[in-house]
Amino acid sequence: WAGVLLLILVAVLTDKSLRLLIDQASFHPKLCHLPIHTFEDLANYPFGKVGSGFVLFNMFIMAYGAMVAYLLIIKDTIPTVLGYEHGQNLLERNLIMIATSLVIILPLSMKRDMASLSCTSALSVTADMILVLFIAAFAPIKENVEANGGFGEVLKNDGINSTLFVGLGILSTAMACQHSAFIVANSLVDKTRRRWKWVTNQSISLSAILCLILGVCGYLGFLGMTQGECY
């Protein structure tokens, strides 16, 4: 239950920060007439080149880390689906990762407008929903919970543990999307506070719900045997 509360907290703070960034850059009376089109442009006005460089550096680290995570997921999942067992056929698995990166990820990364990714994004969200439904339907929740003394006993023993703040860091990273706030907001046909609020509320709420279902069902199904790299 501590993880559930942390997830809700991070989702609320993420939604608030996304709206705050665009509100300041696009609708604040002292800034709305200035050419602020990116996160680093916004940081440049109060903090100068130091602030702009700091934001750019952190955006690079975030994007690089996300890229590595995606490549690891691709290397762990796609070859397995194609019949190459984990821990074997290393050459084939690496070639599949490289081919997937060059054929799919690289072309998508070279798009100049986020709006052009609407179809692939819809496909990605659909795949996420299928994954969440699959885990929720087939995770051995009932058997595992009963074997550990029932739901009340599980809550009592696994409510809070020493990895609480590690989980906070992981959730914050998983929800981090501030670096793309301006890209998404600038892709709106009619950018208003109300429309931007609707976009952030709907997207963050959907993400939080999917994470919540996946996390709770996955954990109750496997408890202490749940692995951190299982997505």
Q: What is the mean pLDDT of the chain?
A: 83
What span, in angstroms and rounded, lies between the C-alpha atoms of 9 and 4? 9
Distance CA(217)–CA(137), nearest Å, equals 9
Alpha carbon separation from 113 to 24, 57, 66, 165, 180 (Å, rounded): 22, 22, 20, 36, 12
Six token digits for residue 65: 């880390």
Average pLDDT over residues 99-110: 86
Mean pLDDT of 164-190: 83
Give me the pLDDT at residue 228, please. Answer: 60
Tokens found for residue 150: 């029932």
With a pLDDT cut of 90, the percent of the chain lying above it is 18
| 99/194 Cα distance (integer angstroms) | 42
Round the CA-based radius of gyration of the chain to a whole number and report it: 20
8-state DSSP, 25: I
Q: Does 151 or 53 have the greater pLDDT score?
A: 53
Residue 230: the pLDDT is: 45
| Most confident by average pLDDT, 3-17, 64-78, 136-150 | 3-17
Cα 50 to chain centroid, rounded: 28
Mean per-residue pLDDT, 108-131: 82
- DSSP letter (8 states) at residue 40: H
Q: Calculate the dihedral angle through the C-alpha atoms of 134, 212, 227, 221, rounding to the nearest 10 degrees.
A: -60
Among 116-125, 162-171, 192-201, the least confident range: 162-171
Percentage of the chain surpassing pLDDT 70? 94
Cα 89 to chain centroid distance, Å, stands at 30
Instruction: Find the range with the poorest average confidence among 158-162, 175-179, 185-189.
Output: 158-162
